[in-house]
């Protein structure tokens, strides 16, 4: 069955573009002047919230992320706002209780989000249950995400089973989330064909240009019938971000799957964001000239992560073992059951590899690695190496239930704590900001809520 409908585009210039290229440093005031223009382009959605933007608003930009959401929403009449949510991690780095997850999802929708893309680092669907249920309740379009990676446990059939599970759970569309740019053009073609053959929902492909294959990957996916792709306007595209919106619009012009977007109408927007990027780079001393890095295909770790690990090694005085660390990483990943490398598993595997080359293999095992082995992040795609398991947690039996079942409700406790910190009448949005990022939220409240 061929797909001859127009390709739909999710524009990422307000979220993943800046997150990938300017360390998430884009202010709401940088967005406002062109929101109406963006709204009139004819995008399927504007990805404008979630991911790292919530943390970055509070931590670096002295902004209230909820206020940003309401402001962006107030300027959009036609185009839905899409957000990225890390399942039970919400937008933070730990697992939260179900009541916090539920409240957060409801507040997101009430403040302006229409489409919620939900993923779990391990592709453990149990970690998506609470957020998907809440998003359905709140009336959002729920996009269930398949985190793409390459391993003996991640064949097209495995992803199909995962996709079918997401359908069962009530997903309205399915996203293939290729956060590291690992998906090659022909693998994309096969994967999209496989998913489209059995799943009767729109399929959205999200890639990063990191390895340099992004455009080719999108084209083969489009030929295979993908419904939606994510792109960024040129100044915030390519290198570690998404492929370029204008180029894709031009590629499909006159073709049966023409996006219908006016190519010439995009230039003003691109010129505007080019200036925004220059200003942000100057103000925050950012190097936005990030080259593509095909090595990511070997190490599966995005460039930004590799430089973090190198810094970690410099601090330990073991930078000379960098090449060894690169070779160690795939071994650690295999020992840990081949988790996809995305927040937080990328840090967990990376730090373990750094320690292994510095101190000897598994001489010191951090708590996060033990927790992963103990099942506290969920089910790993493949089995954990039995010797490593023994070494890490001894005879302790890994949990085989949903990790959040062990987390008691937290919402009332957060309200109490915030009241004790001097904010007894905090809005529920402020309580949620506090639940996710207590320290930076308090700093923000002290500056703005007194």
The residues binding Co ion (CB under 5 A) are 16, 179
Q: What is residue 83's three-state secondary structure? A: strand
Tokens found for residue 347: 């840090």
User: Nearer Cβ to Co ion, position 247 or 318?
Assistant: 247
CB 315 within 8 A of CB 273: no
Task: Output the residue with the shortest Cβ distance to Co ion.
Answer: 16
Q: How far is the CB of 117 from Co ion (least distance, A)?
A: 10
87 vs 128: CA distance, rounded Å = 5
15 by Cβ neighbours in 10 Å (0-12 / 13-18 / 19+) ranks as buried
Q: How far is the CB of 192 from Co ion (least distance, A)?
A: 18
Q: How far is the CB of 399 from Co ion (least distance, A)?
A: 30
User: Nearer Cβ to Co ion, position 37 or 288?
Assistant: 288
User: Nearer Cβ to Co ion, position 16 or 246?
Assistant: 16
Q: How far is the CB of 427 from Co ion (least distance, A)?
A: 30
Q: How far is the CB of 17 from Co ion (least distance, A)?
A: 9
Which residue shows structure tokens 């506090």? 434
Tokens found for residue 213: 């294959």
Q: How far is the CB of 253 from Co ion (least distance, A)?
A: 26
Residues 6+ apart with CB under 8 A from 155: none
**Residue 295: closest CA among 176, 182, 179:** 182
Crossing angle for the helix pair 303-315 and 322-335, to the nearest 10 degrees: 110
449 vs 445: CA distance, rounded Å = 5
Q: How far is the CB of 426 from Co ion (least distance, A)?
A: 32
User: Nearer Cβ to Co ion, position 145 or 276?
Assistant: 145
User: Nearer Cβ to Co ion, position 27 or 208?
Assistant: 208
Determine the distance from the C-alpha atom of residue 33 to the mean position of all C-alpha atoms in its chain, rounded to a whole number: 26
Q: What is the DSSP string of 91-141?
A: TSSS---HHHHHHHHHHHHHTTEEEEEE--TT--GGGTHHHHHHHHHTTPE
User: Nearer Cβ to Co ion, position 210 or 380?
Assistant: 210
User: Nearer Cβ to Co ion, position 30 or 178?
Assistant: 178
User: Nearer Cβ to Co ion, position 16 or 227?
Assistant: 16
Q: How far is the CB of 343 from Co ion (least distance, A)?
A: 11
Q: What is residue 143's three-state secondary structure? A: strand
241 vs 243: CA distance, rounded Å = 7
């Amino acid at each position: 069955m061929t797909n001859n409908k127009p390709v739909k585009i999710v524009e990422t210039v307000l979220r993943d573009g800046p997150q990938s290229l300017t360390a998430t440093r884009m202010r709401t005031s940088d967005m406002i002047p062109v929101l109406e223009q963006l709204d009139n382009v004819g995008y399927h959605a504007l990805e404008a919230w979630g991911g790292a933007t919530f943390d970055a608003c509070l931590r670096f930009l002295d902004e209230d992320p909820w206020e940003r959401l309401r402001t962006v929403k107030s300027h959009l009449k036609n185009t839905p706002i899409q957000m990225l949510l890390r399942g039970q991690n919400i937008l933070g780095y730990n697992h939260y209780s179900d009541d916090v997850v539920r409240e957060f999802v409801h507040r997101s929708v009430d403040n302006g989000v229409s489409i919620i893309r939900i993923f779990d680092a391990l592709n453990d669907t149990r970690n998506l249950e609470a957020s998907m249920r809440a998003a359905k309740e709140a009336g959002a379009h729920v996009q269930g995400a398949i985190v793409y990676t390459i391993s003996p446990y991640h064949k097209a059939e495995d992803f199909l089973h995962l996709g079918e599970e997401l359908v069962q759970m009530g997903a309205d569309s399915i996203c293939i989330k290729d956060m590291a740019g690992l998906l090659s053009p022909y693998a994309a073609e096969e994967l999209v064909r496989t998913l489209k053959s059995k799943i009767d929902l729109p399929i959205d492909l999200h890639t990063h240009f990191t390895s340099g294959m992004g455009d080719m990957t999108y084209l083969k996916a489009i030929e295979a019938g993908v419904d939606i792709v994510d792109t960024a306007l040129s100044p915030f595209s390519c290198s570690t971000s998404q492929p370029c919106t204008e180029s894709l619009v031009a590629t499909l012009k006159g073709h049966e799957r023409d996006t219908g977007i006016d190519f010439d109408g995009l230039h003003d927007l691109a010129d505007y964001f080019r200036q925004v990027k220059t200003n942000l780079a100057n103000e925050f001393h950012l190097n936005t000239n990030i080259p593509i890095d095909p090595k990511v295909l070997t190490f599966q770790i995005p460039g930004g992560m590799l430089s973090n690990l190198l810094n970690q090694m410099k601090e330990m005085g073991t930078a000379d073992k960098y090449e060894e660390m690169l070779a160690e990483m795939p071994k650690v990943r295999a020992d840990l059951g081949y988790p996809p490398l995305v927040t937080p598993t990328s840090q967990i595997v990376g730090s373990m590899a750094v320690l292994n080359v510095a101190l000897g293999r598994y001489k010191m095992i951090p708590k996060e690695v033990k927790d992963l082995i103990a099942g506290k992040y969920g089910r790993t795609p493949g089995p954990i190496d039995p010797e490593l398991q023994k070494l890490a947690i001894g005879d302790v039996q890994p949990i085989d239930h949903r990790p959040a079942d062990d987390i008691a409700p937290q919402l009332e406790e957060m309200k109490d704590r915030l009241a004790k910190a001097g904010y007894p009448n905090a809005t529920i949005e402020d309580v949620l900001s506090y639940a996710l990022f207590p320290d930076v939220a308090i700093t923000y409240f002290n500056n703005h809520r007194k």
